[in-house]
C-alpha cells in the first residue's frame, strides 16, 4: 500500500509571509497525522523562505508517523539532519535559491560524493532516498551508491499527463521495473495531484510512498485539510 507523506513547506511559506506563528506549523503537522497522513515531509532551503532550520527540532519532537527531511546535502543541511535524525532523508540536487526541485541526481557522475553522504546518514540509522529522474542507469547508480530508496521526480509525468497519460507514465513504469529488479525501494513526488495520482500509482509497481505538498495544500484551501487528506488517501487505496 502506498503511503502518503504531506509536505508542509507551503504552510510554512504562508506563516513566514506575515511573521509570527500563524499557521502554527507544529499543530498543522499534528493535525495532518490525526487526519490520516502517514508521514510529514519538510524541505528546508538555504534561504529558509518556508521551512526554517529551527522548525526541524520542533517538528521532530511531535511527528509520530514518518518524518522525512529533503534537501541538498551541503554542510549546513547535513549538520541539521544529523542533529535531528529523521526516519528518512531524501537527498535532492538543488542549487541555492532554486524555486523548486526540477531534476534528479546524476548518480553516476556524483557516485563518490553520494556514497560518502549516504554512509554518514546510515551511521545514524537514517534511511536514505535519492531524488532521481526515471532513467535506468540513474536508478542503478542510486543502488550502487548505497541508497535505500529512490524518489522518482514526477514533474514531467504531471506535465504530460493531460495529453497522453500512458506515454507520460511509460518511463516511470520502466524505472520502477528496474528498481524492483535490483532491490531498491520506490518513492515519488512533485506535481502529483488528485487528477493524476491514482493513475500513476497503478502504473508504478510497488510504489512505497508519495510526498505531496503544493497541490494538497492548494486543495485544502477549498476542501479543508482533513477532507483533502482523506481524498488523497482514497486515490492511493
Report the chain (237 residues): mean pLDDT per 10 consecutive residues.
97 96 98 98 94 98 98 97 98 76 89 98 98 98 98 98 98 98 98 98 98 98 98 96
Spans of all domains in the chain: 3-236
Judge residue 82's burial from the number of C-beta atoms within 10 Å of its C-beta, 0-12 exposed, 13-18 middle, 19 or more buried: middle
70 catalytic, yes or no? yes
How confident is the model at residue 97, as a pLDDT?
A: 65
How confident is the model at residue 138, as a pLDDT?
A: 98
Angle (CA) 188-161-185 rounded to 5° is 20
Instruction: Residue count of the chain, please give it.
Output: 237
214 catalytic, yes or no? no
How confident is the model at residue 24, as a pLDDT?
A: 98
Q: Which of 38, 43, 66, 209 is catalytic?
A: 43
CATH topology of domain 3-236: TIM Barrel (3.20.20)
190 catalytic, yes or no? yes
How confident is the model at residue 99, as a pLDDT?
A: 59
How confident is the model at residue 137, as a pLDDT?
A: 98
How confident is the model at residue 220, as a pLDDT?
A: 98
Q: Which of 38, 70, 151, 209 is catalytic?
A: 70
Provide the grid cell at 127: 534511511
Q: Which of 50, 151, 190, 209 is catalytic?
A: 190
Amino acid at each position: 500500500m502506498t503511503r502518503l507523506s504531506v509536505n508542509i513547506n507551503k504552510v510554512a511559506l504562508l506563516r513566514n509571509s506575515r511573521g509570527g506563528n500563524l499557521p502554527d506549523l507544529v499543530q498543522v503537522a499534528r493535525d495532518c497525522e490525526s487526519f490520516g497522513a502517514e508521514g510529514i515531509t519538510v524541505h528546508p532551503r538555504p534561504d529558509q523562505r518556508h521551512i526554517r532550520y529551527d522548525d526541524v527540532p520542533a517538528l521532530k519532537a511531535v511527528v509520530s508517523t514518518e518524518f522525512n527531511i529533503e534537501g541538498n546535502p551541503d554542510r549546513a543541511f547535513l549538520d541539521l539532519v544529523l542533529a535531528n535524525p529523521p526516519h528518512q532523508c531524501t537527498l535532492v540536487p538543488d542549487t541555492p535559491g532554486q524555486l523548486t526541485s526540477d531534476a534528479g541526481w546524476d548518480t553516476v557522475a556524483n557516485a563518490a560524493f553520494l556514497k560518502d553522504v549516504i554512509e554518514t546518514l546510515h551511521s545514524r540509522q537514517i534511511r536514505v532516498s535519492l531524488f532521481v529522474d526515471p532513467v535506468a542507469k540513474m536508478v542503478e547508480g542510486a543502488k550502487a551508491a548505497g541508497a535505500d530508496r529512490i524518489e522518482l521526480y514526477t514533474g514531467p509525468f504531471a506535465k504530460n499527463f493531460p495529453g497522453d497519460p500512458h506515454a507520460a507514465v511509460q518511463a516511470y513504469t520502466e524505472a520502477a521495473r528496474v528498481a524492483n529488479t535490483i532491490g531498491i525501494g520506490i518513492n515519488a513526488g512533485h506535481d502529483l495531484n488528485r487528477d493524476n495520482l491514482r493513475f500513476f500509482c497503478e502504473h508504478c509497481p510497488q510504489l512505497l510512498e508519495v510526498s505531496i505538498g503544493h497541490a494538497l495544500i492548494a486543495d485544502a484551501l477549498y476542501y479543508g485539510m482533513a477532507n483533502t487528506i482523506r481524498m488523497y488517501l482514497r486515490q492511493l487505496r
